[in-house]
């Protein structure tokens, strides 16, 4: 799954890359048990492509799921060992705890000066120098760490495989990365990486740590607890443009105060220095508001086409008829996945009556006379929304009812529900025969039961 938090960091990176005419390289280094399964990686690629990040965009590269620099990782580590910037260690965790008597203290540097050679079961540790490490962060400013509090961390495991910290640095180095934009959870490990760069004798990249996204409980968004998969939002009918726009407003705001704005304007307005320092809550309600606005702003053809994945499953679906009511649908849905439930009555001859709606409208004394009158006058009315409305108004006048009351039983008879698309436009789309048929069905249903 492609995490919404990762998506936002990616978007930040992408904006910067576009501004600088450079390339944003995305490496997904978070492994889980499903790592490298094609269905997992292709899901991520699809989700990113949905956002617009794919090979068609020259400012985007990736995503990479696996490093192709394994040999360089080890070579770099060995260079550090050769220059005594790192040393081999055969201590186990239990050894260290036994010596220090403290389970939550770091490594005690026992092997620092033992001059152990490489060998099976021996890890390679970085020799953290004395002094301080200053991380200059584009978002947070200067952050200073006391090296004495940083343990001699492992570069290479006992089996010779590289640790993430090292692999990450070497990959960045190999790929020519000059700016690292990532979530703030990585900030405490940044001095370690910076020391590796320094030890390798290479100028380290610029750092920028952006705040994390959190849930209602203010905890970092997690796969287990929270709805974080971008794919899920795509499948519910959120628009990529709305998602991009919303994600950008979490932790960043445009200098001119606009929230909803075109993507290219966001790209040129974005500045790392304007990014907030505090975590932001991913608020689906606000995403809904953005999505609704984006949907309403779509032109009709685009809207109809965008609905296709959802409308195709509707029984009896007819594209032309859908197009005729689409303007009314567009105004009322927040997610495209809501479209079928809003319009299925227009296509499916089997009306599904909502029990509450039925009870509320069909058990009144007025229901039967209204439906009978409608049956009579709709038979000869000219078949357009305005005329049908006039007809219905006339029925109501005869009974001393306002249009709101008069239309209710007709609406439930035809659509099955008390709420929905504008009634007379729906009747027009359905056609005279079908409307008359449904009025009859409803009348029978009242009589029968």
Partner RNA sequence: GCCCCCAUCGUCUAGUGGCCUAGGACACCACCCUUUCAAGGUGGCGGCACGGGUUCGAAUCCCGUUGGGGGUGCCA
Active-site annotation, residues: 223
Q: Which of 38, 101, 255, 400 binds RNA (CB under 7 A)?
A: 255
Do the Cβ atoms of 210 and 275 come closer than 8 Å?
A: yes
Say how far apart CA 186 and CA 29 lie, in whole Å. 13
Kindly state the tokens that stand for 85: 């910037």
Number of residues binding to RNA, judged by CB under 7 A = 85
Q: Determine the interface stretch with RNA among 119-127, 223-231, 307-315, 436-444 (rule: CB under 7 A).
A: 119-127
Residues facing residue 3 across a β-bridge: 229
Nearer to RNA by Cβ, of 257 and 449: the residue is 257
Sequence-ordered strand ranges (E) for 269-362: 280-281
User: For strand 60-64 and strand 24-27, is the pairing parallel, antiparallel, or unpaired?
Assistant: parallel
Do the Cβ atoms of 166 and 73 come closer than 8 Å?
A: yes
- Of residues 133 through 192, those in contact with RNA by CB under 7 A are 140-141, 143-146, 149, 151, 153-154, 157-159, 163-165, 184-189
Work out whether 403 is an interface residue with RNA (CB under 7 A): yes
Minimum distance, C-beta of residue 251 to RNA, in the bound complex (Å): 4
Nearer to RNA by Cβ, of 11 and 59: the residue is 11
Say how far apart CA 388 and CA 383 lie, in whole Å. 7
Minimum distance, C-beta of residue 280 to RNA, in the bound complex (Å): 3
Residue 217: closest CA among 208, 209, 226? 226
Q: Which of 29, 301, 356, 444 binds RNA (CB under 7 A)?
A: 29
Nearer to RNA by Cβ, of 59 and 171: the residue is 171
Nearer to RNA by Cβ, of 5 and 59: the residue is 5
Minimum distance, C-beta of residue 313 to RNA, in the bound complex (Å): 22
Minimum distance, C-beta of residue 323 to RNA, in the bound complex (Å): 18
- Of residues 42 through 101, those in contact with RNA by CB under 7 A are 89-93
Minimum distance, C-beta of residue 21 to RNA, in the bound complex (Å): 25
Q: Which residues contact 384 (CB under 8 A, 6 or more apart)?
A: 428
Work out whether 105 is an interface residue with RNA (CB under 7 A): yes
Q: In Å, what is the CA distance from 161 to each residue of 72, 186, 333, 362? A: 11, 21, 52, 73
Work out whether 404 is an interface residue with RNA (CB under 7 A): yes
Look at residue 3 and give its three-state secondary structure: strand
The whole-angstrom distance between residue 383's C-alpha and the CA centroid of its chain comes to: 45
Work out whether 418 is an interface residue with RNA (CB under 7 A): yes
Kindly state the tokens that stand for 379: 């038979």
Q: Which of 86, 212, 343, 430 binds RNA (CB under 7 A)?
A: 212
Say how far apart CA 252 and CA 271 lie, in whole Å. 8
Minimum distance, C-beta of residue 84 to RNA, in the bound complex (Å): 19
Nearer to RNA by Cβ, of 22 and 25: the residue is 25
Q: Determine the interface stretch with RNA among 28-36, 69-77, 232-240, 261-269 (rule: CB under 7 A).
A: 28-36
Residue 429: closest CA among 383, 392, 389? 383
- Of residues 280 through 309, those in contact with RNA by CB under 7 A are 280-281, 283, 285-286, 288-289, 292-293, 296
Minimum distance, C-beta of residue 423 to RNA, in the bound complex (Å): 4
Minimum distance, C-beta of residue 448 to RNA, in the bound complex (Å): 26
- Of residues 423 through 442, those in contact with RNA by CB under 7 A are 423-425
Say how far apart CA 152 and CA 165 lie, in whole Å. 13
Nearer to RNA by Cβ, of 274 and 318: the residue is 274
Q: In Å, what is the CA distance from 190 to each residue of 67, 81, 134, 403, 412? A: 20, 21, 10, 68, 63
Nearer to RNA by Cβ, of 58 and 431: the residue is 431
Work out whether 261 is an interface residue with RNA (CB under 7 A): no
Residue 165: closest CA among 52, 80, 38? 80
Q: Which of 79, 109, 112, 220 binds RNA (CB under 7 A)?
A: 220
Q: Which of 177, 298, 306, 385 binds RNA (CB under 7 A)?
A: 385
Q: Which of 34, 75, 121, 265 binds RNA (CB under 7 A)?
A: 121
Nearer to RNA by Cβ, of 188 and 431: the residue is 188
What would the DSSP string read from start to end of 97-150?
Answer: HHHH--TTS----TTTTS-----TTPEEEE-PPSSEEEEEETTTEEEEEEGGGS
Task: Count CB atoms within 10 A of the CB of residue 432.
Answer: 15
- Of residues 301 through 360, those in contact with RNA by CB under 7 A are 331-332
Say how far apart CA 142 and CA 209 lie, in whole Å. 12
């Amino acid at each position: 799954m492609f995490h919404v938090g990762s998506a936002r960091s990616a978007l930040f990176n992408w904006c910067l890359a576009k501004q600088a005419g450079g390339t944003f390289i995305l490496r997904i280094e978070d492994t889980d048990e499903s790592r490298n399964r094609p269905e997992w990686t292709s899901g991520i690629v699809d989700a990113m492509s949905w956002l617009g990040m794919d090979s068609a965009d020259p400012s985007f590269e990736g995503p990479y799921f696996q490093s192709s620099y394994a040999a360089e990782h080890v070579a770099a580590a060995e260079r550090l060992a050769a220059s005594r910037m790192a040393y081999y260690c055969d201590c186990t965790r239990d050894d260290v705890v036994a010596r220090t008597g403290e389970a939550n203290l770091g490594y005690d540097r026992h092997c620092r000066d033992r001059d152990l050679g490489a060998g099976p079961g021996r890890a390679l540790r970085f020799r953290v120098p004395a002094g301080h490490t200053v991380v200059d962060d584009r978002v947070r400013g200067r952050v200073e760490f006391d090296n004495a509090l940083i343990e001699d961390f492992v570069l290479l495991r006992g089996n010779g495989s590289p640790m993430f910290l090292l692999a990450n640095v070497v990959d960045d180095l190999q790929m020519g990365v000059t700016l690292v934009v990532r979530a703030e959870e990585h900030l405490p490990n940044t001095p370690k990486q910076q020391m590796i760069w320094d030890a390798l004798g290479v100028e380290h990249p610029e750092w920028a740590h952006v705040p994390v996204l959190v849930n209602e409980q203010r905890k970092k968004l997690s796969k287990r607890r929270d709805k974080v998969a971008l794919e899920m939002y795509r499948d519910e009918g959120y628009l990529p443009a709305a998602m991009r726009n919303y994600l950008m407003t979490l932790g960043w705001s445009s200098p001119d105060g606009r929230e909803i704005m075109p993507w290219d304007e966001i790209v040129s307005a974005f500045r790392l220095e304007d990014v907030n320092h505090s975590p932001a809550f991913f608020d689906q309600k606000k995403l809904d508001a953005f999505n609704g606005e984006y949907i309403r702003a779509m032109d009709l053809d685009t809207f109809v086409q965008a609905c296709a994945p959802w409308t195709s499953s509707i029984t009896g679906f007819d594209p032309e008829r859908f197009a005729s009511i689409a303007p009314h649908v567009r105004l009322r849905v927040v997610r495209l996945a809501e479209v079928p439930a809003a319009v299925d009555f227009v296509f499916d001859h089997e009306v599904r009556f909502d029990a509450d709606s039925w009870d509320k409208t069909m058990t009144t004394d007025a229901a039967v006379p209204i439906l009978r009158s409608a049956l009579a006058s709709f038979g000869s009315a000219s078949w357009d929304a305005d005329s049908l409305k006039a007809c219905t108004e006339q029925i109501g006048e005869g009974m001393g009812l306002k249009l709101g009351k008069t239309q209710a039983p007709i609406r439930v008879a035809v659509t099955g529900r008390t709420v929905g698309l504008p009634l007379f436009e729906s009747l027009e789309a359905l056609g005279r025969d079908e409307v008359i048929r449904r009025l009859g069905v409803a009348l029978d249903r009242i009589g029968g039961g």
